[in-house]
A and B are shown apart, each in its own frame.
Chain A
Amino acid sequence: MNVLSTCAASACQQAVCRALCSVVTKGNIVGVPVGTHPYHKFEIMKWNGWGYSDSRFLFNKKGQAEFTGKRYRLSGMIIPGLKDWFEGTFGANLQHKTPPTPLLTNTAVPPATLNEAFVEEVKSTGIPFSHDAEDRVFRAHGHCLHEIFALREGKIGRVPDMVVWPSCHNDVVKIVQLACKHNVCLMPYGGGTSVSSALECPPEETRSIVSLDTSQMNRILWIDEKNLTAHVEAGIVGQDLERLLNESGYCTGHEPDSMEFSSLGGWVATRASGMKKNIYGNIEDLVVHIKMVTPQGVIEKSCQGPRMSTGPDIHHFIMGSEGTLGVVTEVTMKIRPMPEYQKYGSVVFPNFEQGVACLREVAKQRCAPASIRLMDNEQFKFGHALKPQVSSIFTSFLDGLKKFYITKFKGFDPNHLCVATLLFEGNREKVLQHEKQVYDIAAKFGGLAAGEDNGQRGYMLTFVIAYLRDLGMDYYVIGESFETSVPWDRVLDICRNVKARIIRECKDKGVQFPPLSTCRVTQTYDAGACVYFYFAFNYRGLSDPVHVYEQVEHAAREEILANGGSLSHHHGVGKLRKEWMRDTISNVGMGMLKSVKDYVDPNNIFGNRNLL
């Protein structure tokens, strides 16, 4: 997510920022209110799509694609190649539009079933709450395709009956006690970026459902420079956390693709993974201490020792519990001094096989940069289509020259070549040394260095892709991404088979146009990799496109599992992938998790019914 202009856009900006910060705050920051996230999120964010209301893709009157707003690097730019790519890839047509229902009509929202006694007692605690339709609808969904599709059609299912905004750990304790007392169903809500149907209200739930929105618990409570840790309230959103830490010269380095909106508590509850995990680690490596409020009381460890041999790590009951056990309120996290130097890079490979072989070698030598990602040919073309308009003739001339060199001089087939994007971080000298090491390995696999620009654009694709889905949905195109982790020897097989399965299923299910079925390897580990699949198709001529979409995604997941892939690398299980849990973790495993749930939450107060 480094390309966000809202945070850490360029090294230069950061330097300025850092200089200022060091003057203003020397020492620990305590209780800085943030306030980028108001109570009523829909005031700045879309209620039926991804991200900020002011930022979206559209085809202007000339038929050119542009990205609106001022927040991102791409904002305000024309993207000349997108229209042709869009029409060519999907068989879509700008004449055939499927605009969303513009406004949320309150009549579509089911009336709130309130537990009066509970409401009264909450009122007496002074914790803010709401039962406005907008607030409730906003917290009734994540960003699965079917959820967004329904919203665009103005269809609203079961939504929370009430939203509460605790502002600290003690508020949460009170709310959980009251919920237990009055038998109310609580559903924790962080950033709302779930893609596992985790936020969907179970339709069979008869109790009053209360959405517990952690967004006001967003302070860094202290920073411990001796131990390099920070104690943070769990409702803080990724970009705020990074920005605030940057002000003191630190960072967590945890940058999931959703970091603009997703929250620390959400990361813990889903076992999140960040782009730069090669340096900083995934969430399980980053947390030192977790505090969670459960119906049985508060669970936490007594000290902050860096590693303990005290039986099974209780953090691992919390991480990945997906809101079924309680609310994570405060987390102590490792922090690092901000990197002195950052450099993007990219390598072009003649084909995907060579690319994977290179990533494998990099992993074997344990010299992976902060981030290394390999896009397949379709995604390379996609990335290409997202190149913004270049102003100078010189740049476009250079581009042409580069293309000529790679395809004609080096003999790469434009329909097979693929590209790896790289991000190096650290002190300047080491970065350059590291860069050379990686490029030397790449050369052994036929890789050619292809410049910083391509690398940076690759990372840009990550955050705009969610906005692009909304554009597609304006023109009969629906799609989604999903991920898995898989041993190295299976990577090529799983990529090939899952992509082929998607194409085959689309055909079988009557999709009239060839789908976009593409993948990339986004993380490397010692023993395997994380693979992301993107899948989208033009649904003209289908009577129930979402159902078709779901069938195809289901088949794709079956294919992933049959090819030795995991049920999820970091998205989590939610309700979307529950059916495969038993096969994934065995009967005994299910029993263990169930017994924990039964002890911690016997009355199913945290009744979102995820995971089990």
Chain B
Amino acid sequence: MGTIVLFTPLKLFDPMLKKRDDFEDILEERRTSSDLRYALRCYTPVLYKGVTPCKTSVLKSMVLQSDQLHYVINQVSKESGRAADDVREEASAILEEMAHSLQLSTVRFFAFMLSKVFKTLFRSICVNEEGIQRLQQAIQEHPVVLLPSHRSYMDFLLMSYILYTYDVALPVIAAGMDFMGMKFVGEMLRMSGAFFIRRSFGGDKLYWSVFSEYVKTMLKNGYAPVEFFLEGTRSRTSKSLTPKLGLLNIVMDPFLKGEVFDVNVVPVSISYERILEESLYARELLGVPKPKESTSGLFKARKVLSEDYGSIHVYFGQPVSVRSLAEGRVNRCQFNLVPRHIPRRPSEEIQSFVNDSAYRLVRAQEENMVLKPWVLLASLLLQNHHQNRAAGQKPGMALDELTTQAVWLRDVSRQYGAFLHWPDHTSPSEVVSSGLSLHRALVRVCEGRVQLAVEQEEELLSQAVVVLSCASYRNQMLHVFVRPALLASAIHIASSNQKRKTDVFNSFSFLRNMFSSEFILCPGATVQDFEEACYLLVKTGVLQVTQQEVLVTERGHRTLAFLTSMLDPFLQGYQVVCRFLCEEDTETLTEKQFIPAVRKFIVNHLLAGRLRYAEVLSSDLQKNALAALQRLGAVRKIKGYLVKIQHFLTQL
């Protein structure tokens, strides 16, 4: 371990030093004053350096006349032998299909409608006003990119709603093409600022060029903040997803090429106390296909309107300057020798810079995610559920036992830097019961004992829906504990009583590598993560770390046990996937067939009692496990078929 150099001052890891803003409930005013007046009020946001918003038609013609597009049109025309005008027509059609047509009237309509809907669905929508002020400032100084977390369809309407409320410039939002399928709604969304991109357009030069030029034109001129989801899609598990880099590359490009002085990126963390799509997601993960977005489907979803979804917290993070991110990392001279409008594949230096930045930004989102007490309860109940089941004990735990444990976990998670929203002036038992009552679809209180709403005699898949829903709440706090939990598991693995630091580090590094698609772990930061985990566990009195050894303290066992059981379902899950690949004949298995096959295998294991974690049925976990095995070289994909490297698998 002596060889590991510490590059971050330890103090930086200390989560207690994080300062966070206070929240204001924006629904409060909506409940006392007219929604109509609110929707019709004077809306005069300040734009970048005082530019005036530009008409959609002007924007489109700017894009079509850009040097970049001009170049690509000629290139495509030469390569394909088509007339340039013909290609230009196509480009224009792509742009028509893509472009937003933001209209204030539509925004006002949404403002009115959403006020009604939000007031029914949610108790409060809490926003950090200081964050809004910072954003307001940033918009005036630099082109701004908004990066909200993505947990619900609601996210982008909610974002625009909040910005409208605070008189901040409305963003244009990158949305998936699937929305366009919903005829009327698609157009409504377009008029409220959404622009639509195809999910995949890998080789289509022309499409890429129209798309990137469109985004850059809006951004560079500061006509509107650009908003997109770094995670690419809604996270069905409430864990942050590995960031997608395409759009981030595009919005950083104008800075890297010197077309703007700086770009400010604002991570936004949206936390739902109860997610609207809760059971929908669980079903989807279990392989019940997701319903195609359709307008009629949306209306059917009306029954959700009668339910209570608690509160939403929206935290606008500190604007991150792309210039300072790039300082000392990117040599911008690399763009000096080729005209900037000629599209080029980003250099390795740029790719790794964008990738690292993306991880940093996702972590910034995670850090400001508000955790409700229910998240703690879900974690405790889930652990209890599995332990009891394994021990064959009576299901559930006594209410006061749960309360005591929740208070313990509250204190621990605060020490680890969680942004926990635990009402301080309410008694713990009240906090617990209010959390339970909001989630009565998932838990049941019976004879003073709290347990997951799972019937033993129920079908396995129905049970799994509840477990996966609960797991999605537990997942909300994973980012707080993932590094310490990896360390705890590494310590657990080191068999002997004497835990040599080098061994622990090696196990930590292995686990971290294996789980790098599962959790947000910045590439190449193994040593920092290890230091951070050590620091936290030492600070909280769980470990003593000397030059050579890692010692677990007397009182540290409880925390350690909690942390290892948090990671255990994932470990077991990866093991099962591994076993599946070892035991089954996979020679004829394509990647597509992998999920159903492994699911069947897992169901058998669960039914036979060889596996206790129903959440392993999550296709997300299975995919991540496969990705990990590919990364570790145990499985290879050849012509679409999965080829296992037997000796590797057995080793694992």
B651 within 8 Å of A (CB atoms): no
Residues of chain A within 8 A of B426, CB atoms compared = none
- What B residues does A563 contact at CB under 8 A? 258, 332
Take A489-B339, A489-B340 as given contacts and tell me if A562 and B261 are in contact as well, using a CB distance cutoff of 8 Å.
no
Query: Contact size class for A?
Result: 10 to 19
Contact, CB under 8 Å: B258 / A583: no
In chain A, positions 486-538 with a C-beta closer than 8 Å to chain B are: 489-490, 493-494, 496-497, 500-501
Residue of B nearest to A496 (CB): B261
Query: Which residues 560-586 in A have Cβ within 8 Å of B in the complex?
Result: 561-564, 583
Contacts of A496 in B (CB 8 A): 261
Q: How many angstroms between the C-alpha atoms of A494 and B257 in the bound complex?
A: 10
CB distance from B252 to the nearest CB of A (A): 14
What class of interface size applies to chain B in its complex with A? 10 to 19
B333, A497: Cβ atoms under 8 Å? no
When chains A and B are docked, how far (Å) is the Cα of A51 from the Cα of B621? 77
**Cβ–Cβ < 8 Å partners of A562 in chain B:** 258, 331-333
User: Which A residues touch B259, using CB under 8 A?
Assistant: 493
Q: A562-B332, A583-B333 are in contact. Are A494 and B258 (CB under 8 A)?
A: yes
One digit per residue, 1 when the CB lies within 8 angstroms of any chain A CB and 0 when it does not, for chain B 402-441 equals 0000000000000000000000000000000000000000
Pair A564/B261 contact, Cβ less than 8 Å: no
Q: Is B153 an interface residue (CB 8 A)?
A: no
Q: Are B258 and A497 in contact (CB under 8 A)?
A: yes
Min CB–CB distance B634 → chain A (angstroms)? 44
* Those of B331-349 within 8 Å (CB) of chain A: 331-333, 335-336, 339-340
In angstroms, Cα B261 to Cα A493, docked, is 8
Chain B residue contacts of A564, Cβ below 8 A: 258, 333, 335-336
- Residue in B closest to A566 when the chains form the complex, CB atoms: B336
User: Given the complex of chains A and B, what is the CA–CA distance between A308 and B262 in angstroms?
Assistant: 48
Closest chain A CB from B225 CB (angstroms):
20
A561 x B333 contact (CB < 8 A)? yes
Which chain A residues numbered 176 to 224 have a C-beta less than 8 Å away from chain B?
A: none
Please, how many angstroms separate the alpha-carbon atoms of A564 and B333 in the complex? 6
Q: How far is the CA of A497 from the CA of B258 in the complex (A)?
A: 7
Query: What distance in Å separates the Cβ of B95 from its nearest Cβ neighbour in chain A?
Result: 24
Interface residue ranges of B239-281 to A (CB < 8 Å): 258-259, 261-262
A340 CB, nearest partner CB in chain B, Å: 42
Quick one: CB contact mask for A62-100 with B, threshold 8 Å, 1 for yes? 000000000000000000000000000000000000000
Complex CA distance for A564 and B262, rounded to whole angstroms: 16
**Max chain A CB contacts within 10 Å: which of B259, B261, B333?**
B261
B261 near A497 with CB under 8 A, answer yes
The reply to whether A493 and B258 contact each other, CB–CB distance below 8 Å, is: yes
Q: Within 8 Å CB of B258, what residues of A?
A: 490, 493-494, 497, 562-564
Q: Which residue of B lies closest to A499 (CB)?
A: B261
Q: Encode A137-167 as 1/0 by CB contact (under 8 A) with B.
A: 0000000000000000000000000000000
A561–B335 CA distance with the chains assembled, in angstroms: 11
Name the residue of chain A whose CB is nearest to the CB of B142: A500
A497 to B260, CA, bound (A): 7
- Give CA–CA (A493, B336) in the complex, Å: 13
A–B Cβ pairs within 8 angstroms, 24 of them: A489-B339, A489-B340, A490-B258, A493-B258, A493-B259, A494-B258, A496-B261, A497-B258, A497-B261, A500-B261, A500-B262, A501-B261, A561-B333, A562-B258, A562-B331, A562-B332, A562-B333, A563-B258, A563-B332, A564-B258, A564-B333, A564-B335, A564-B336, A583-B333
Q: A496-B261, A564-B258 are in contact. List 17 more A-B contacts (CB 8 A).
A: A489-B339, A489-B340, A490-B258, A494-B258, A497-B261, A500-B261, A500-B262, A501-B261, A561-B333, A562-B258, A562-B331, A562-B333, A563-B258, A563-B332, A564-B333, A564-B335, A564-B336
Taking Cβ atoms with an 8 Å cutoff, the residues of B that contact A are: 258-259, 261-262, 331-333, 335-336, 339-340
| Nearest 3 CB-CB pairings of A with B | A562-B332, A563-B258, A500-B261
